[in-house]
Amino acid sequence: MGNPNRPLVEALLKFNAAAPVSFHVPGHKGGSLSGLPADLRSVLRYDLTELTGLDDLHEPDGAIAVAQRKLSSFYCSNQSFFLVNGSTVGNLAMIYATCSVGDTIIVQRNAHKSVFHAIELTGARPVLVSPGWDEITKTAGTMTVGQVCEALEAYPDAKAVVVTHPTYYGTTGADLEEMIRACHTYGVPVLVDEAHGAHFAAGDPFPRSALDMGADVVVHSAHKTLPAMTMASFLHVRSELVSTEKVAHYLQMLQSSSPSYVLMASLDDARAYIEAYDEEDKVLLMERRLAFMEQLATIPGLQLVESDDLLKLMIRVKGCSGFKLQKELEAEGVYAELADPYQVLFVLPLLKVGTDYPFEEIAKRMGSAITRLHLVGGKQDVLEMPLLNEGISQLIYTARELAQMETEWISYDEAVGRVVAASIIPYPPGIPLLVGGEKVGDEHIQSLTSLRQMGAKFQGAIRVNEGQIVVVKEGTEE
Ligand SMILES: Cc1ncc(COP(=O)(O)O)c(C=O)c1O
């Protein structure tokens, strides 16, 4: 107890302090009927519901309302919302609030699959903007102002521009503020998937938040970089172009009517954590991070790559794919966020004074893993990935049109020139290699083959073992 700056956490503590007897849902009755191990069961005491004193996410006027106002005040929004279904539901709600069937929406091509799902559900027509290649992280980067202006010129009736800022790898791009200003001169709102940037609001040395740069709606996966539980996320509206009421309306429809109080309490706590994050905390984080990097730099063959966001760190070993490196690190109990052909990606902890992390021990284990890789040797297994750059493009068919067509599974070799019937998504990071309705090119098949050979995992319209993807049946196209 004792932190009045977390109104929802306080409300839960106060409720339980009165030793309440449950004749309400959930059925585990405060955990007493649960067969979970004791440490897991202990949290169920706080897994409560809309009881007197605990407010209601969908009609807040008590502790949740106060907690959300504190959130809004810290992030300087007009209104902020707790999300209990990840940034996924935030992306859905912001696109529902701005687009409907047939509307044009301009989208950064390396957007998360939830953005494409939202477009599919609303029936909007996406205009895809291919970002440039970011040489530092060896991944797709961000759109330029020039590209977005070109897309707006070509599609002046666009209802929104969707930006991913930063990318999964922490790349922010240099000109988001100018891009937002340009979109606003066209009267088009900018919706920012800032899933990986909830901590940016702590200020320098972190990159600037899109909210600070004038974005209309911003979504944060608090669970990715703040100390919040998985799925716990935020959505902020600060706009004259997007209706807060519409966003709230869609959140009501898309989120559970029984939102988890444990998740919401962890959001309240995460906001208090980042709000209190001060200069001393930043100094501590920078010192600990630097010491870790210095130790890693002594491991022969290891290459460190930094990105715009201090919390993201890429680790490469010459001649070895990220997938293989990831496996070897896991054998030492070190789990990276993801692997790709070139590297593994670490998400570092947002340490503050009074917290610590076993960096020295981790670096030692990483040293053992990498030495083992060198000992095993063998041929180089990093396959070069072809650059995918489609410029500004539209889908040949929207998801709704595809739904009316017949499809068939064919092998990769026969797929060039055909229209893919659903998205193919290497996961993580969850960014489509092909969006359903796009034409398959040589470079897509080369990427797919290389990723498969290196052990990447996929979601979507792909049978990895059989080497097949699903395409529109020829002759059935409209
Ligand atoms: C850029 C981006 N946006 C959105 C999401 C979805 O976030 P969540 O897992 O919070 O639903 C992710 C998840 O990895 C992501 O990387």
pLDDT in tens, 194-238: 999 999 999 999 999 999 999 999 999 999 999 999 999 999 999
Task: Measure 436 CA to ligand 1 centroid, in angstroms.
Answer: 19
| Domains observed in the chain | 7-275 (3.40.640.10), 279-376 (3.90.1150.150), 395-472 (3.90.100.10)
Distance 295 CA to ligand 1 centre (A): 31
Ligand 1 atom 7: the closest Cα is on which residue? Answer: 87
Q: Which atom of ligand 1 is nearest to the CA of 111?
A: 1
State pLDDT tens for residues 283-331.
999 999 999 999 999 999 999 999 999 999 999 999 899 999 999 999 9
430 pLDDT higher than 90: no
Across-strand partners of 13? none
* pLDDT at residue 455, rounded to an integer: 81
- pLDDT at residue 382, rounded to an integer: 63
Cα 1 to averaged position of ligand 1 atoms, centre (Å): 32
pLDDT, average across residues 326-344: 95
pLDDT at residue 384 is higher than 70 = no
User: Distance, CA 116 to ligand 1 centroid (Å)?
Assistant: 12
Q: Specify the ligand 1 atom closest to the Cα of 221.
A: 10
Rama region for 291: left / alpha / beta (φ>0; ψ in -120 to 50; rest): alpha
- The reported pLDDT for the residue numbered 379 is 60
Pocket lining for ligand 1, CB < 6 angstroms: 86-88, 91, 112, 114, 164, 168, 193, 195, 221, 233, 429-430
pLDDT tens for each residue of 90-124: 999 999 999 999 999 999 999 999 999 999 999 99
Q: What is the pLDDT of residues 37-91, one digit of tens each?
A: 999 999 999 999 999 999 999 999 999 999 999 999 999 999 999 999 999 999 9
Residues 311 and 292: their CA atoms lie apart, in Å, by 12
Residue of 81, 82, 88, 267 with the most ligand 1 atoms within 8 Å of its CB, for mutation: 88
Would you give the distance in Å from CA 440 to the centre of its chain? 26
> Residue 92 C-alpha to ligand 1 middle, in angstroms?
11
Single out the residue of 317, 373, 326 nearest to residue 346, CA to CA: 326
- What's the whole-number average pLDDT of the chain? 94
Q: Hey, what are 423's tokens?
A: 């998205």
Q: Which atom of ligand 1 is nearest to the CA of 164?
A: 1
Q: How far is the CA of 374 from the centre of ligand 1 (A)?
A: 34
- For the segment 258-280, what is each residue's pLDDT rounded down to a tens digit? 999 999 999 999 999 999 999 99
Tell me, in angstroms, the distance from the centre of ligand 1 to residue 453's CA.
26
Percentage of residues of the chain with pLDDT beyond 90? 81
Q: Reply yes or no on whether the pLDDT at 25 is more than 90.
A: yes
pLDDT of residue 374: 80
Sign of torsion over alpha carbons 451, 457, 461, 464: positive
Locate the ligand 1 atom nearest the alpha carbon of residue 83 and give its number.
10
Query: Which residue has the least CA distance to atom 9 on ligand 1?
Result: 86
Ligand 1 center to 152 CA (angstroms): 26
Q: Which residues contact 315 (CB under 8 A, 6 or more apart)?
A: 296, 302, 303, 304, 305, 325, 336, 343, 344, 346, 366
Question: Could you tell me which residue, 133 or 165, shows the higher pLDDT?
Answer: 165
Residues 402-418: what's their mean pLDDT? 93
